[in-house]
Amino acid sequence: MIPRENHVRDYLAQRLHVLEPGLRLVKKEYTLTNSQGTGGRIDILARDRHQMWVVIELKRSNQSAREATQEIAKYVELLRQEKRLPVDRIRVMVMALEPQWRELLAPISNFARDRKHDLRGYVLNITDDGCPIDARVIDLLLEPLDQKITPVHVIYLFRDPARRGPCWNKAIKLAAEAEPPRL
């Protein structure tokens, strides 16, 4: 039986060192509001040893996993507005048990690539009563590389690096002298 989320959250809030040394609890169930009336509750709000704000979200079911990126985006934006923070001062940690990562991996990987804040996923290992034992970082999916040669690409092949330098310098000079495109 999977323990209730609030039970895991309470245990984890007391043992943030399981995730990362130096994490300090700010508040469990940190309430966010804004002038438009939307809001929410961050499962755990913490600070790291570099004074960065850390949003920690627990996902326990596949249904909540499907909503994770929308929820995280909202929480990060509301926290930024409330604390008047630049985006690079907020980190996000998403915690889930192994089965939930099947639903989380693709959207969280995409979200992490598209955002400027540090977002990491963790598989949370817990005891039968919900006590966190450890957390393992998830390897997010890499950016798919679909690079194709286009009509504006030019490929130069050189026998050795000594011949590449002068050609590269000439290309930089010609690019700098080129007339900008007219719009």
pLDDT in tens, 91-136: 999 988 877 888 888 888 888 888 777 888 888 888 877 777 888 8
Q: With a cut of 90, say whether residue 16 has pLDDT above it.
A: yes
Q: Which of 21, 117, 26, 102 is nearest to 59 (CA)?
A: 102
Q: With a cut of 90, say whether residue 26 has pLDDT above it.
A: yes
Query: Other CB atoms closer than 10 Å to residue 9's CB: what's the count?
Result: 22
Q: Alpha carbon of 138 to those of 55, 114, 155, 158: distances in Å? A: 17, 17, 37, 41
Q: What is the residue extent of each domain of the chain?
A: 5-137
Which residue stretches of 4-67 are H helix? Answer: 5-14, 62-66
The domain made up of 5-137 has a fold known as Trna Endonuclease; Chain: A, domain 1 (3.40.1350)
